[in-house]
Amino acid sequence: MFNYLKKQIKALHYKKLFLFGAYNTIIWLTIVAVIIDFLFENKIDSAIDALYGILSFIAYKTICKKGDINLAAITLFWISTFIEILYLIVHSIDFNIIFALFIPILAFYTMKKSSLIINLILYYLVLIAIFSYYYITTSNNIFLHNQNFLFSYFIAHLFILSFGAFYYLAIDEFIHRLEEANKTQKLLLKEVHHRVKNNLNLIASILGLQKNLQKNRTTKYLLEQNQLRVESIALLHNILYKNNLLDSADTKLYLTSLSEQIIKSYNVNNIKIMTNFQQIKLSMNSMLQLGIMLNEMLTNSLKHNNNKIISIKILFKKIDDIYHLIYCDNSKNVDLTELKDGFGYNLITLSASAFNAEIKIENKDKFCYDIALIKLEESIES
């Protein structure tokens, strides 16, 4: 649970992360505040705290979840302002006035520049209006009629505004440059995937031409196998390129596409295949090793299965933090000694060993691999 939350947080934009923290902090703190105020029989403050929590929760569920950062920031800003005004009215401006200092920080961290200026101007106009009203209607207010308190409060607001100006002139600009650089890197890496895919397809075509010129069956078979291996790697780069991905791919998309590509290359009609691939985003390296293993298993079934109808079942799923690649076909009495001496099996074990895998083989009424992969790398790329 903790690792999942950690990955979700890492995937958030920094403004979304701040809003996520602000909303959740307010919701949980207001629950605590309601309980404390209720225990001390402060019913009015308890009601205001409850209202703050309810409004924040509704806004979080309806606006923040939709991904509109600016609207979510404006909503929380004015909910907090409204609650602060209620506190000031109920207590005729006392120490609660200090909390009004923190409200502009919500704007500085999360709003767009245009929204920031408009909402801050409105906020200070509202604050000045309330202060002016209570200055006129109350003759002995501890804050409004004390020059030292008012001066300190004024300086504190100037400090917050100065911080906000610095944030937008420096930090926000720096983050903007980083985001632009990141976009450029993504475009460059996308082009790399495209070129790698084209080069691998060129190599596969050369192997295909050499295969067609060979008369020796063994040489022809070896060239065909290597052609398929190169094409399986090229397919992964093609998926990354077409889906604007950098270093991760969806298991269901890649393994399904790879299975279809291999079957199509053998041009077999007497095949029944059932696949069930769980949708998990894995790193490019993990996907590459999975593709290599599946390629070897599937080509072996299509090449050596002598049944009238070839029946294949492939599953990839995660069970208790362990990934299982399960592959079965209807081959019977497979010679395991010959299998384990073959290049394909050794390539499977080599790929699996990179992830501390355990390989189990069933060889009775059907032939099955159950490969438990312990250290596959999931990705947080969005």
C-alpha torsion sign, points 324, 330, 336, 338 = negative
Helices and strands, number each (H, E), in the chain: 13, 7
pLDDT value for 65? 67
Which range (151-155, 173-177, 367-371) has the least confidence?
Answer: 173-177
Is the pLDDT at 152 greater than 80? The verdict is: yes
Range 245-261 burial, b when 16+ CB lie within 10 A, else e? beebbbbbbbbebbbeb
Does residue 126 have a pLDDT over 80? Answer: yes
pLDDT band at 12 (very low <50, low <70, confident <90, very high): low
- Segment (H or E) for 310: strand 310-319
Domain 247-382 sits in CATH at 3.30.565.10
The reported pLDDT for the residue numbered 11 is: 53
Tens digit of each residue's pLDDT (9 = 90 or more) over 300-319 = 888 776 767 888 899 998 88
Distance between CA atoms of residues 95 and 277, nearest Å: 59
Contact by Cβ (8 Å): 343, 373: no
Q: Are 260 and 314 in contact (CB under 8 A)?
A: no
Instruction: Please list the residues that pair with 282 across neighbouring strands.
Output: 249, 378
DSSP string, 49-63: HHHHHHHHHHHHHHT
**Rounded alpha-carbon distances, angstroms, from residue 119 to 125, 276, 333, 347:** 10, 52, 76, 63
- pLDDT category, 259, cuts 50, 70, 90? confident
For the stretch 155-176, pLDDT in tens is: 888 888 888 778 777 777 777 7
Whether 298 and 273 have beta carbons less than 8 Å apart is answered as no
Q: Is 175 helix (H, G, I), strand (E, B) or coil?
A: helix
Per-domain residue ranges for the chain? 14-145, 247-382
For β-strands 322-329 and 310-319, DSSP reports them as antiparallel
7 or 366: which leads in pLDDT: 366
